[in-house]
Amino acid sequence: MAALVLLLLLSPVLVTDAKRFRLPSDPRAYLTQEVHWFNQKLDHFSPKDHRQFKQRYYEFLDYYDISNGPIFLKICGESACPGIINDYTTVLAKKFGAALVSLEHRYYGKSYPFKRTTADNLSYLSSKQALFDLAVFRQYYQESLNAKYNRSNVDSPWFTFGISYAGALSAWFRLKFPHLTCGSLASSAVVLAIYNFSEFDQQVGDSAGPGCKAALQEITKLVDQQLLLDGVALKSKFGASMVKNDVDFLYLLADAAAIAFQYGNPDVLCSPLLEAKKLNENLVETFANYVKDYYCGKFGASVETYDQQHLKNTAIGEKSGDRLWWFQVCTEVAFFQVAPTNDSVRSSRIDVSYHLELCRNIFGEGIYPEVDMTNIYYGGTRIAGSKIIFTNGSQDPWRHASKQTSSPEKDMPSYIVECHNCGHGTDLKRGCPQSPLSIEGDAGNCTSPEAVQKVRAKIIEHIDLWLSECDYEGHRFIQR
Ligand SMILES: *[C@@H]1O[C@H](CO)[C@@H](O)[C@H](O)[C@H]1NC(C)=O
Ligand SMILES: *[C@@H]1O[C@H](CO)[C@@H](O)[C@H](O)[C@H]1NC(C)=O
Ligand SMILES: *[C@@H]1O[C@H](CO)[C@@H](O)[C@H](O)[C@H]1NC(C)=O
Ligand SMILES: *[C@@H]1O[C@H](CO)[C@@H](O)[C@H](O)[C@H]1NC(C)=O
Ligand SMILES: *[C@@H]1O[C@H](CO)[C@@H](O)[C@H](O)[C@H]1NC(C)=O
Ligand SMILES: CC(=O)N[C@H]1CO[C@H](CO)[C@@H](O)[C@@H]1O
């Protein structure tokens, strides 16, 4: 029995989020994985619908200063949330005597309201519902913490944190509920919904540099040709025989290349390509080895999740996260990572109609990304918030969906962490490269640890100031 339990502990399932970040499987990468449950309202916008579902959350109180410590809400995004990751927020929590708490995003992981992921069942999956979840949870958790410490009428200073889509939620939470949080950190936050997101591919080319970019473009040309001649043989070379749709396959290849820059491992991709080029070796084969050994191997991406046949599957399972994120993409934010018309790295067959057809195919007629509505609702990069720190990594293709300029008059600074392997969220919370995770976000392996430290010092300055100014009830620590 004991042996079995131990085995289960040592071989946890891999979890990747829909932007392919591989969450660590090692339990030591988490401060806690002890699960708590909360009854959440299914539809916050209907006065008649009172259905509820169970939402999973975690708390970590070891650093909490009971007398006047803040509460740090780490927002989970488009993946299962298996615990509170021991990243740079741990350092911040120690420094500020904060309680750490984390709520799983509705529909992802174990916080799923229905038995299947049919398009009908997904109608309550949106960022707007998710923000309301956070607000309701914030009130619930404050009360439950007060009850735990036998105190009443205490409203702690809260601060929210998130990376990527969860980074956008962090910014939007402060925008929509400024009376519930003192400020927010929005790391690599994709606050601007974009329909034709061709800047993504352009940034991949820029991050690669001229030599590596040229090699990737040559590979794309060769792959496009070989796909027409003998697609079966080509796909098998990449260990992707199961992917029947050619553009699904091309998307896998484009993502595999982008991920090297997005997550701070550019040399793993570019060094062998430049070497192969120099020695006049087979570029496609070299790239295929990278895709198999690194992207699908060490990094842990799954070929299956690119296959539309798989994405149509409405059963709930380890890999339904991809279908769920596609639903958000196909309804709210698009981020269609299309090939630019000129000088693209990825195949020009990855275009808008491919994305629209995918949305139709896996969710049915009538599904369309309301990008303009999303940007009207939140403001995009013209977000009218305050006390939000935006941060981005210089090599990250997603930075073009974030807010890259400061608005000092509104207390919304923006920082870019510049270094050779500074990617998506890597800079602030997860270290470089961010997979495998470096505990407490140690920046020792970033090519410029000083660039990271500088931005971190700014973050501490802002948190300190905004907690001290926190006036949603007129005081820093409210004893009513
Ligand atoms: C969810 O899907 C099931 C079938 O899988 C269906 O019976 C049910 O009515 C759906 N619920 C909602 C709220 O759409
Ligand atoms: C809270 O109060 C209960 C009952 O009065 C007591 O048993 C418990 O130890 C108290 N807890 C704390 C943290 O003070
Ligand atoms: C997106 O790009 C396509 C092809 O380049 C173009 O036809 C379309 O008008 C663009 N749509 C938007 C909303 O920019
Ligand atoms: C296309 O890209 C190339 C290489 O970056 C550049 O030199 C050229 O000016 C671009 N052409 C157009 C029409 O933008
Ligand atoms: C830095 O990289 C080395 C070699 O991969 C590794 O052993 C070490 O743990 C890394 N350090 C951090 C802080 O990530
Ligand atoms: C605040 C900041 O660092 N802004 C920079 C963001 O990135 C753009 C493009 O690289 C720069 O021009 C800004 O100065």
H/E segment holding residue 392: strand 388-393
Please check whether residue 255 lies inside any domain of the structure: no
Q: Given the CA of residue 432, which atom of ligand 5 is nearest to it?
A: 14
How far is ligand 4, taken at its centre, from the CA of residue 210, in Å?
14
Choosing from 426, 438, 442, 452 the residue with most ligand 5 atoms within 8 A of its CB, the one to mutate for a pocket test is 438
CB 248 within 8 A of CB 255: no
* Residue 444: domain span: 27-194+376-479
Please check whether residue 235 lies inside any domain of the structure: no
CATH number for 435: 3.40.50.1820
Q: Given the CA of residue 149, which atom of ligand 2 is nearest to it?
A: 13
Please check whether residue 365 lies inside any domain of the structure: no
CA-nearest residue, atom 6 of ligand 6: 404
| Count of positions (residues) in the chain | 480
How far is ligand 4, taken at its centre, from the CA of residue 343, in Å?
6
Pairing of strands 71-75, 154-155: unpaired
Active site residue 420: no
Active site residue 155: no
120 lines ligand 1 (CB under 6 A): yes
Residue 259 tokens, joined: 């991920």
CA-nearest residue, atom 9 of ligand 6: 404
DSSP reduced 3-state for 245: coil
Residues at CB less than 6 angstroms from ligand 2: 149-150
How far is ligand 3, taken at its centre, from the CA of residue 335, in Å?
13
Please check whether residue 290 lies inside any domain of the structure: no
Residue 59 tokens, joined: 């708390």
Question: How far is 394 from 380, CA to CA, in rounded Å?
Answer: 20
Supply angle C-alpha 38, 88, 85, rounded to 5.
40
Q: Given the CA of residue 351, which atom of ligand 3 is nearest to it?
A: 4
* pLDDT given at position 313: 94
Catalytic residue among 424, 427, 438, 462: 424
What averages of pLDDT result for each successive group of 10 residues across the chain (480 residues)? Answer: 33 46 80 98 97 98 95 96 95 98 97 94 97 98 95 92 96 96 96 97 98 98 97 98 97 97 95 98 98 94 94 88 95 97 98 97 95 98 96 93 92 93 85 83 93 95 94 48
Selection from 66, 345, 326 nearest residue 220 by Cα: 345
* pLDDT given at position 414: 95
Long-range pairs for 43-52 at CB < 8 Å and ≥24 separation? Answer: 43/124, 43/129, 44/128, 44/129, 44/132, 44/133, 44/136, 45/128, 45/129, 45/132, 51/113
CA-nearest residue, atom 14 of ligand 3: 196
Question: How far is 178 from 87, CA to CA, in rounded Å?
Answer: 26
Please check whether residue 225 lies inside any domain of the structure: no
* pLDDT given at position 316: 87
Residue 63 tokens, joined: 């650093």
Please check whether residue 136 lies inside any domain of the structure: yes
CA-nearest residue, atom 1 of ligand 1: 121
Please check whether residue 51 lies inside any domain of the structure: yes
DSSP state of 430: I
Question: How far is 285 from 283, CA to CA, in rounded Å?
Answer: 5
Question: How far is 33 from 27, CA to CA, in rounded Å?
Answer: 8
Active site residue 184: no
* pLDDT given at position 182: 96
H/E segment holding residue 237: helix 199-237
Our count of domains for the chain comes to 1
Q: Given the CA of residue 148, which atom of ligand 2 is nearest to it?
A: 13
442-to-17, 100, 184, 387, 425 alpha-carbon distances in Å: 22, 19, 21, 26, 13
What is the maximal distance between C-alpha atoms in the chain? 74
CA-nearest residue, atom 11 of ligand 3: 196
Question: How far is 181 from 98, CA to CA, in rounded Å?
Answer: 14
Q: Within 10 Å of residue 48's Cβ, how many Cβ atoms?
A: 5
* pLDDT given at position 22: 66
Q: 103 — phi, psi (to 5°)?
A: -110, 130
* pLDDT given at position 471: 67
What strand order describes the sheet that includes 158-163?
36-41, 52-60, 99-103, 71-75, 158-163, 184-187, 388-393, 414-417
114 lines ligand 1 (CB under 6 A): yes
Please check whether residue 128 lies inside any domain of the structure: yes
